[in-house]
Chain A
Amino acid sequence: GENVEQHPSTLSVQEGDSAVIKCTYSDSASNYFPWYKQELGKRPQLIIDIRSNVGEKKDQRIAVTLNKTAKHFSLHITETQPEDSAVYFCAARVHGSSNTGKLIFGQGTTLQVKP
């Protein structure tokens, strides 16, 4: 069945360093890959997403890359700050009608940015 694997499960970096989180997906028909940030006790918030027709997307300190051939995508955070500390989830949308198929999530990465 559909599956998304996410690594690492925990990541600790020094403030100012970069952080990279990687995900692989199983369904080759997946066409949309969002990343969510979830702070403790709060709902997941979309931070960046990428569609299958592009290989990279950047938004200030955050970038996402997609390799469709290898079926993996990554989140890159540069110049990390303590407020980046949270749990990050990748997801892949299983192809559905009207571009609204279900999202399958990775297991999450707990990012800790040390001041």
Chain B
Amino acid sequence: GAGVSQSPSNKVTEKGKDVELRCDPISGHTALYWYRQRLGQGLEFLIYFQGNSAPDKSGLPSDRFSAERTGESVSTLTIQRTQQEDSAVYLCASSSPGTTNFGPGTRLLVL
């Protein structure tokens, strides 16, 4: 079946603009995660959804970052007033008991 998909695959924006990143998880996966990966770095946890609620949003770096999930499916990660340090690959993953699958990521570049 289809894996986790993300859009856009690449996004270039100007400092100060807002961006919205989308994740389509594997159908039936109730858990969904957002991670950030800076160039050459590890995976930094941002937020975790169980169904439509977010029991853990402890990794969101600032109040410029927010995420939502609707219909236990699609999730969007919004970054307001982007800064250059927001440049990174944003990875989404969805999970069922036993496995976690990553999407291809959105490569964000803030100029």
Q: Which residues of A contact B (CB under 8 A)?
A: 1, 6, 34, 36, 42-46, 89, 91, 96-108
* Overall SS of chain B's interface: strand
Decide: A100 near B42, CB < 8 A? Known: A43-B102, A43-B103, A43-B105.
Answer: no
Please classify how large the interface on chain B is, using the bins under 10, 10 to 19, 20 to 34, 35 or more: 20 to 34
* 15 further A-B pairs in the complex, CB-CB below 8 A; given A96-B56, A100-B50: A36-B102, A44-B43, A46-B101, A89-B42, A89-B43, A96-B48, A97-B55, A98-B30, A98-B50, A101-B48, A102-B56, A103-B33, A104-B45, A107-B41, A108-B42
- Residues of chain B contacted by A1 (CB below 8 angstroms): 58
A28 to chain B, nearest CB (A): 18
Interchain CB contact under 8 A, B100 and A34: yes
Q: Is the C-beta of B26 less than 8 angstroms from some C-beta in chain A?
A: no
- Residues of chain A contacted by B55 (CB below 8 angstroms): 96-97
Q: Mind listing 17 A-B residue pairs with CB under 8 Å?
A: A6-B42, A43-B102, A45-B102, A46-B99, A97-B50, A98-B30, A98-B97, A99-B98, A100-B95, A102-B33, A102-B45, A102-B56, A103-B33, A104-B45, A105-B42, A106-B42, A107-B42
- Residues of chain B contacted by A36 (CB below 8 angstroms): 102
Partner of B96, one of A91, A100, A103: A100
A104 to B101, CA, bound (A): 14
Decide: A103 near B41, CB < 8 A? Known: A98-B30, A98-B50.
Answer: no
